[in-house]
């Protein structure tokens, strides 16, 4: 499975590399996916991925050809985070002509926003404080 760290794959852009918090959050999400049998090679983790004129916190590509766009929110999920992941999924789909899975990684999420994400928009909310794998 390789090293689960995204540190050595960080790329520098105008906004700079991943923060330590983003790096740890994405690494935990990768561990979770791998615990569920989803194979993602470290070479298929793209931190601070530029798509069009936007920079997505991370883009992942699994061995079953599923793409993931990731937004990392420090603290609780906000309306801003929800809007960002919707936009990132849209621009990724427009540029790559395929619809990725959208994921917000956060410490926690208010139930109403989580419901909006999961039920209405098909966005996975990965709450770091509720990790069980």
Q: Measure the CA–CA gap between 15 and 132, rounded to whole angstroms.
A: 32
Q: Which pair of structure tokens corresponds to residue 95? A: 């540029």
Residue 76 has pLDDT above 80, yes or no: yes
**Mean predicted confidence (pLDDT) in 1-30:** 65
Q: What's the CATH number for 7-130?
A: 3.40.1350.10
pTM above 0.75, yes or no: yes
Neighbouring CB atoms inside 10 A of 103's CB total 23
Q: What is the pLDDT of residue 133?
A: 55
For residues 58-83, give the mean pLDDT.
95
pLDDT digits (tens, 9 = 90+) for 94-133: 999 999 999 999 999 999 999 999 887 899 999 998 876 5
Contacts of residue 78, Cβ cutoff 8 Å, sequence gap at least 6: 113
């Amino acid at each position: 499975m390789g090293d689960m760290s995204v540190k050595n794959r960080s790329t520098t852009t105008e906004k700079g590399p991943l923060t330590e918090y983003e790096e740890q959050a994405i690494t935990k999400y990768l561990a979770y996916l791998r615990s569920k049998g989803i194979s993602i090679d470290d070479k298929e983790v793209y931190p601070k991925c530029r798509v069009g004129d936007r920079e997505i916190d991370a883009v992942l590509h699994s061995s079953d050809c599923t793409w993931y766009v990731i937004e990392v929110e420090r603290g609780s999920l906000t309306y801003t985070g929800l809007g960002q992941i919707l936009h990132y999924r849209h621009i990724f789909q427009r540029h790559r002509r395929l619809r990725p899975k959208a994921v917000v990684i956060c410490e926690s999420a208010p139930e109403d926003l989580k419901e909006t994400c999961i039920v209405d928009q098909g966005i996975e909310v990965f709450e770091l404080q509720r990790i069980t794998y």
